[in-house]
Amino acid sequence: MAGKKRPADTKVTLIDRTNMNPLPAPAQGLIVYQTDGMQGYYYNLSTTTIPDWVLLANENSTQWNVLKDPTTTSTIDHGAFRTNFTFNGATELGAFNISSNSLTKSSLLDLNVLTTTGASGYSTTVLDLFKSGANINSNHQSYGISSRVLNTGTSSTNIAGYFMSSGGTNNLALYVPQGGGKVSLGSLFSNTNSILSINNGHFQAQQTTRPTIATTLNAGILSDGIVEQFSSDVAGTFSINSTANTNFGEQATISFNKSFSRPPIVVVTAANLSGATRSLCVDSFEGSFKIFFTSSPAQSTTYTYNYMVIAN
């Protein structure tokens, strides 16, 4: 300021500042300027003779390894500015680690984007992961995401991946584009032409409401049918219970709980001896499939069949 002189800086080297321990007397507020190493002004926080040096912030010298632990919740508002982190030179272990040993609820890392003006023809991404490069070493595996939950506990549930999508015209919780690779469950390897492979396991389709069945008069007056428990739109078992005055032709209609986008392929096989005595054909629609007998069913007989539905 005009009319005043600033005191001359006390200039020291890194070794000088390191050797200033202990100080001759407590000197909280002492400021020195370090001329080598991490150059800049250092401020002594300590009220004792053991100094606690803090590098004063400046745009050229402040680095992560000199930041102090926060004493309260803080917010950094970047506004429209971007921050880029590079770890060129890191070859192993985690280049950027976030950890906690006290989390009891909520999230350790929470990414939240509120957007109401998404540009037409473009997409927005909350977290974009990209890995590339020609690897010169053999037998190396590259992962875009590795998620492992290894908690133990009584009556607990571990979920390594949870995805939900809603609100849009089309909602996909998980999307693998054409040519985006295979999906393999239970093994790192799959057959050459298999897009989805399940190793040492089963494919299971469950739904709260099973399909329904309605018989026709060709199955007899007061005939009925049943779709067995645990049946779904994808696979299951149904029975036709014939009565008197039967006839060949359409016997029953099985209606899906949810319609397909186009008529699916429906495969029906006999599940009891009576079912095996009748030749049948199937006609499928977006919301149902019909069963036709080429000969009249016997009176008071139960015909049971397994079915599998494949969307095409």
pLDDT of residue 4: 47
Contacts 24+ apart (CB under 8 A), 199-205: 205/232, 205/233, 205/234, 205/235
Where do the structural domains in the chain lie, given as residue ranges?
11-66, 175-204, 212-310
pLDDT in tens, 79-100: 888 888 888 888 887 888 889 9
pLDDT in tens, 162-218: 999 999 999 999 999 988 888 888 888 777 788 888 888 888 888 999 999 999 999
pLDDT of residue 9: 67
Cα–Cα distance, 162 to 149 (Å, whole number): 12
pLDDT of residue 77: 86
Residue ranges of the chain whose pLDDT lies below 50: 1-6
The phi and psi torsions of 243 (rounded to 5 degrees) equal -125, -130
pTM: 0.64
CA 269 to chain centre: 37
CATH number of 212-310: 2.60.220
pLDDT of residue 39: 85
